[in-house]
Amino acid sequence: MTRPIGLAALTVLELSHHEQVSVAAQAGYSHVGLRLRPVTGQPFLFPIDMPAIKARLADTGVKVLDVEVFRLGGDTNVSEFEPVMAMAGEVGAGHLLVHGADADEARMADTFGRFCDLAARYDLVADLEPMPWVEVSTVAKTLAVLRRAGRANSALLVDAIHFFRAGDRPEELASVPRHSLRYAQFCDARAEKPTDMQEIIRQARSDRLMPGEGGLDLLALLRALPEHLPLSLEIPYATPMPPLERARRAYQSTLRVLEQL
């Protein structure tokens, strides 16, 4: 397997950070995505124990793909993010997952640019993820911010469920510079797009499907992305099961989809 595959925090949110690393190793993943900042509307369940995280990474050989989540709004003070960026650099992460929550494109680009400059001190890429319920909601809006900010350590982060729920199409990715696509988040979902935004949010946060179980055109999406692009499996699954089993199912389901390429 030449494609790095990471276990995102949301897939096993009931685990502490170092337990997530252990489960990722047992399930066959090469990477993890660590949630070192809480996301709006979801609890932050565990304190950050850096010695335990670093020890578990060293013991397992698992690497950190990304650290989340950084929400940029109209009143964001970028300097407040530096302690978490420093932790991301300390564990060897490559990417920071960013949400754009400012409708003023010029101000959003300025804030994002300053965020990228701070991230560059720690050799981190800032990956802006469009989501239907935030202001930077589509691929087009994200690319506009990236172009306006003009930072080399910036990228577009495609998440399969958000991509299709926002009405984006795989062919739109053909014009995206390859250097602006550094990794992607992967999952499946029901084919029908909910008409209610709260239901879109609910599915995204707690009721996604394993790759191949739903109706998203995952093969078309993968073919539109760079070959061997790292994938972070972000699959909060509604059916109760132990986290190791959930992680293994996500990994094996993804491999089966990749084999169809």
- Summarised one tens digit per residue, pLDDT across range 161-191 is 999 999 999 999 998 999 999 999 999 999 9
- pLDDT at res. 45: 77
- pLDDT at res. 41: 65
Q: What share of the chain is helix, strand, coil (3-state, %, to 5)?
A: 45, 20, 40
- pLDDT at res. 244: 98
- pLDDT at res. 72: 98
* Domain locations in the chain as residue ranges: 5-258
- pLDDT at res. 110: 98
Residue in 59, 2, 12 with CA at minimum distance from that of residue 32: 12
Residue in 186, 14, 17 with CA at minimum distance from that of residue 93: 17
The matching CATH number, chosen from 3.20.20.150, 3.30.70.380, 3.40.50.10300, 3.90.1150.10, for 5-258 is 3.20.20.150
Contact 233, 2 (CB under 8 A): no
- pLDDT at res. 111: 98
> In angstroms, rounded to a whole number, what is the distance separating the alpha carbons of residues 106 and 110?
6
This prediction's pTM: 0.97
- pLDDT at res. 38: 86
CA 152 to chain CA mean position, Å = 19
Question: Which residue numbers in the chain have pLDDT < 50?
Answer: none
- pLDDT at res. 2: 81
Measure CA of the first residue to CA of the last residue in the chain; give whole Å.
Answer: 13
Whole-number CA gyration radius for the chain: 17
